[in-house]
Amino acid sequence: MATTSGRRIVLTGVTRGLGRALAEQFIELGHTVLGCGRSPVELDHLRRRFGSPHDFAAIDVARRDQVQAWADRLLTEHGAPDLLLNNAAIITANAPLWQVPPDEFDLLIDINIKGVANVLRSFVPVMIARNRGVIVNFSSGWGRSSSPEVAPYCASKYAIEGLTLALAQELPDGMAAIPLNPGIIDTEMLRSCFGDEAGLYPSAAEWAKRAAHFILKRGRGDNGQSLSVP
């Protein structure tokens, strides 16, 4: 996929971290971002900064009804996405698995796994109907290896790897589904795990300059490949 022609990009989790940095970079490159997040204040800032044709909505991806209504509106107003990026995710505070409060574990699973499934369920059929589009589900280094005190997050990202690789086998030849490890980036989420050591890694804005181009170059030949941003 070329980076020079405008693409319609559906992106979850645009209000902070990697999603926010990617949204800004995609827009700078001339693409249309149709994003969602949970912070009304940050969404309003994005709307005022970028305006039409970009679209930013307050959506909880764990709520299937909200995701479906959002998708129905975007598909009617903009058409099927060229790129569908499932980025929205949360992490629990560092703790041994048995000490993670059940409600926090459940919320993580609802957002990190069920949220991805909700978005796929709402957008993929229309993408299949035109036999075009690339789906990128954000995985993690902790979706291919593990560390102590982040077991719920590891579980969710291992699930995304398996879900995406199976989805890739179900798509028509003209499409691709890719589990993507973004790498280690200095974000609020990483600081909750690494503390000040997160500052040793690139900022989200620095990362997005590389990642946006890498993602935009993905195509059907990448289907079913577990990739990492270089």
Q: Which of 140, 93, 95, 98 is nearest to 116 (CA)?
A: 140
Residue 130 domain flag:
yes
Render pLDDT for 46-76 as a digit per residue (tens, 0 to 9).
Answer: 999 999 999 999 999 999 999 999 999 999 9
**CATH at residue 36:** 3.40.50.720
Number of domains in the chain: 1
Render pLDDT for 2-51 as a digit per residue (tens, 0 to 9).
Answer: 344 699 999 999 999 999 999 999 999 999 999 999 999 999 999 999 99
Q: What is the pLDDT of residue 196?
A: 86
Which of 56, 123, 138, 153 is flagged as catalytic? 153
- Residue 132 in 3-state DSSP? coil
Q: Is the dihedral of CA 205, 137, 71, 105 positive or negative?
A: negative
146: left (phi over 0), alpha (psi -120 to 50) or beta: beta
Global confidence as pTM = 0.94
Render pLDDT for 82-123 as a digit per residue (tens, 0 to 9).
Answer: 999 999 999 999 999 999 999 999 999 999 999 999 999 999
How far apart CA 163 and CA 222 sit, in angstroms, is 16
Q: What is the pLDDT of residue 5?
A: 65
Residue 102 domain flag:
yes
Q: Is 158 a catalytic residue?
A: no
Domain of 198? Answer: 8-228
How far apart CA 141 and CA 182 sit, in angstroms, is 8
Q: Which of 146, 92, 90 is nearest to 116 (CA)?
A: 90
Mean pLDDT within 168-196? 91
Mean pLDDT (the chain) is 95
pLDDT above 80 for 190: no
Residue 200's pLDDT band, with cuts at 50, 70 and 90, is confident
124 residue type, one letter:
V
Residue 1 domain flag:
no
53 preceded by a cis bond (ω within 30 of 0):
yes
Render pLDDT for 121-137 as a digit per residue (tens, 0 to 9).
Answer: 999 999 999 999 999 99
In this structure, the number of other CB atoms found within 10 A of the CB of residue 94 comes to: 16
Angle at which helices 115-130 and 151-170 cross, to 10°: 20
216 residue type, one letter:
L
Residue 3 domain flag:
no
Q: What is the pLDDT of residue 1?
A: 39
Which residue has better confidence, 194 or 224?
224
pLDDT above 90 for 189: no
How far apart CA 93 and CA 195 sit, in angstroms, is 11
Residue 2 domain flag:
no
Q: What is the pLDDT of residue 171?
A: 98
Residue 101 domain flag:
yes
How far apart CA 230 and CA 217 sit, in angstroms, is 13
